[in-house]
Amino acid sequence: MAEHEYDVVVSGAGMVGAAFAALLATTEHGKNLRIAVLEARPFVMPDLSKSFDPRVVALTALSRKLLEDTGAWEQIAARRVCPYQRMEVWEADGTGHIEFDCAEVRQPSLGHIVENALVVEALWQRLEALENVTLLCPATVVDLDRQPEGVAISLADGSVINTKLLAAADGAQSKVRELCGLQLRQWEYGHHAIVTTVTTEKNHDFTARQRFLPEGPLAFLPLQTETGDCHQCSIVWSQQADVAEQLMALDDDAFCETLTRAGENCLGNVVAVDKRYKIPLKQRHAVDYVVPGVALMGDAAHTIHPLAGQGVNLGFQDVIVLVEEVERAVSRGLSPGDMWALGRYQRRRKPHNLGTMAVMEGFKRLFEKQPLPVRLLRNDGMNTVNRLGPIKNLMVRQAMGLL
Ligand SMILES: Cc1cc2nc3c(=O)[nH]c(=O)nc-3n(C[C@H](O)[C@H](O)[C@H](O)COP(=O)(O)OP(=O)(O)OC[C@H]3O[C@@H](n4cnc5c(N)ncnc54)[C@H](O)[C@@H]3O)c2cc1C
C-alpha cells in the first residue's frame, strides 16, 4: 500500500466520526482494515477543571453501549457523567404534566448526561491507541475525485489520500455532502437555542426537566461534579430568534431571574450562570446518504431539534449500522465501500431517522401557540398518558433505545 492509501477514511472526528473509526477498527474484519481519520480542527481540549462544557448530550442506553464497545465509556464515566433517573415534562400553558421514572422500566437510569468534549477526548485517546488507525489533524477535506474503484480525497495542505470508503461525519455543514452533490431538505425552526451551565438553589435529584413554553421548550439537564455536587444543570432554552437575542443581552443577574421564572422555580432560584452561547436550530435531512464509495453519518446526514435530545443518539445508530454493513461486506470478500453494503446502510437508517424527525416536528408544533381546544386536548393527552403505565413504558423504552 502506498503511504496515502487507506481502506476506510473518516472525515470529521466529532463524536460520530470518532466513534465509527474506534468501533470499526476493533471488529473481527475491521481490525484488518487500514483506517485514517481526518479532522479539520486542531485538537485542543478545553480546560474543564473549573467548569462544565456548555455543550452536553443526553445519551440513551444504546449510545452508552456503543461507547462501551469502543472502549471510551470507562474513561468518560471515570471523569464525569450524570445519570438521570427521572424525567419531568410539563407545559406552561395549562396543567399537562408527565413523569418518567427508571424504576417503571426496571433500569438503573433513563440515560446519562455527558459533556461533548469529554466524549470526544475519550474517543480520540482510543483512536490514538489503535494500531490500524491513523489520526490526521489538522486535515481539512477540500475536494474529492470519485472513481469506480474508490475516492481520491484532496486535503487543504495539497496532499491526496485514496480510499475505498469515505465515511463522512463532518457535521451539519458537511463539505463531503456538498462535493458529492447530495441534495439536502432543510427548513428553519425559527428557533435559537441558548446553552449554558447554571447553578440552582435546590439539588436536581438526578431528574431531567423540560417545560414547554409557547415560544419553545426549556430543558434543565442535571450535571454532577467529580465530588458529587448536584446543584448544576446544563440548560437548553429554545426561543424565537429575536427573544433569544434579548435574553443573550441581559446581564447575569437579570438572566438568572428570567430563567428562574421561565422554569417555574422548579429548582428554586437560579443563582449563577456561566458564559452563554446561542445556536441557530435548523432541521436538515439528506435525500440520499450514499453515493458509490461515500456514506454520510450523523449531523452530515441529518440534524434535528434538540427538544428530545435525539441528535447524536441517531448519529450513533448510523455508526452501529454502517459498521455492521462494512463488516458484512468485508467478510464476503467485497470492498468496504461496496455499493451493496452502502445501499443496505441507507435502507436501514433513513426510515428510522425520518420517522424520529417527523415525531419531533409534531411535538414542536403541538406545543407551539395553539387555539384553546388544542391546548385542552394536549393537557388531557399528557395527563392521560401519564396514567397509562404500559403506553408510558413503551415510550420510555423507545426513547432509551431499548426497543
Ligand atoms: C443545543 C443542542 C443540544 C443538543 N442536545 C442533544 C442531546 O441531548 N442528545 C443528543 O443525542 N443530541 C443532542 N444534540 C445534537 C448533537 O450535539 C449532534 O447531533 C452531534 O454533536 C453531532 O455530532 P457529529 O459528530 O455528527 O458532528 P460534529 O460534532 O459537528 O463533528 C463534525 C466534525 O467534522 C469536522 N469537519 C468539518 N468539516 C471538515 C472537513 N472539511 N474536513 C475534515 N473535518 C471536518 C469538524 O471540525 C468536527 O469536528 C444537541 C444539539 C444542539 C445544537
Taking only the tens place, the pLDDT of each residue in 246-285 is 999 999 999 999 999 999 999 999 999 999 999 999 999 9
C-beta separation of 266 from 211 below 8 A: yes
Banded model confidence at residue 1, pLDDT cuts 50, 70, 90: very low
pLDDT digits (tens, 9 = 90+) for 172-184: 999 999 999 999 9
* 5-399: CATH class: alpha beta
Spell out the domain ranges in the chain.
5-399
Q: Among 9, 57, 154, 310, name the best residue to mutate to test ligand 1's pocket (greatest count of ligand atoms within 8 A of Cβ).
A: 57
Side-chain-side CA neighbours of 77 within 13 Å: the count stands at: 12
Task: Compute, in angstroms, the gap from residue 379 CA to the centroid of ligand 1.
Answer: 34
Burial of 372 (0-12, 13-18, 19+ CB in 10 A): exposed
Residues with CB under 6 A from ligand 1: 11-17, 38-41, 57-58, 140-141, 169-171, 175, 193, 195, 236, 279, 298-299, 306, 309-313, 315
Atom 30, ligand 1: which residue's CA is nearest? 171
Instruction: Supply the pLDDT for residue 384.
Output: 67
Asked whether the beta carbons of 191 and 281 are under 8 A apart, the reply is yes
Q: Which atom of ligand 1 is nearest to the CA of 174?
A: 38
Percent with pLDDT over 70 in the chain: 88
pLDDT digits 0-9 by tens, 100-138 = 898 888 889 999 999 999 999 999 999 999 999 999 999
Of all protein residues, whose CA lies closest to atom 29 belonging to ligand 1? Answer: 14
Collect contacts of 300-304 with beta carbons under 8 A, ≥24 apart: 300/12, 300/168, 300/169, 300/170, 300/171, 300/172, 300/174, 300/176, 300/177, 301/177, 301/349, 301/353, 302/353, 302/357, 303/172, 304/356, 304/357, 304/360
Give the distance (Å) from ligand 1 centre to CA of residue 371.
Answer: 36
Q: How far apart are the two ends of the chain, measured CA to CA in Å?
A: 43
**What's the angle, vertex CA 402, arms to CA 397 and CA 403, rounded to 5?**
85
Residue 22's closest CA among 84, 76, 82, 60? 76
Of the pLDDT bands very low, low, confident and very high (cuts 50, 70, 90), residue 307 is confident
pLDDT digits (tens, 9 = 90+) for 24-36: 999 999 999 999 9
If you average pLDDT over every residue of the chain, what do you get?
91
pLDDT band at residue 370 using 50, 70 and 90 as cut-offs: low
pTM of whole model > 0.85? yes
In a mutational test of the pocket of ligand 1, which residue from 70, 284, 299 has the highest number of ligand atoms less than 8 Å from its CB? Answer: 299
Between CA 54 and CA 116 the distance in angstroms is 9
- Structure confidence at residue 376 (pLDDT): 65
Residues in Cβ contact with 95 at an 8 Å cutoff, skipping those fewer than 6 apart: 379, 383
